[in-house]
């Protein structure tokens, strides 16, 4: 699968924020749960910089 087809999704969950890579990368756990938005956005931003995937921030749609 071409790397550009993957995306990073940030969503709000009851415990804070979740970052997920869709579709997942086989053999790598890149998803994470974070208590505050800033940390979730930082993790997603790092994935974007190192992997080149787009961020889809679903928290902006919920605001």
Residues 34-59: tens digit of each pLDDT: 999 999 999 999 999 999 999 999 99
CA torsion 60-14-18-39 (nearest 10°) is 80
pTM above threshold 0.85: yes
Distance CA 38, CA 34 (A): 9
Distance CA 38, CA 23 (A): 23
CA torsion 28-6-41-58 (nearest 10°) is -130
Average per-residue pLDDT in the chain? Answer: 91
Domain boundaries, the chain: 1-20+34-62
């Amino acid at each position: 699968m071409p790397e550009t087809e993957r995306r990073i999704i940030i969503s709000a969950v009851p415990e804070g924020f979740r970052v997920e890579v869709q579709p997942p990368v086989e053999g790598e756990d890149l998803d994470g749960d974070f208590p505050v938005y800033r940390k979730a956005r930082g993790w997603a931003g790092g994935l974007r910089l190192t992997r080149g995937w787009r961020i889809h921030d679903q928290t902006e749609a919920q605001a």
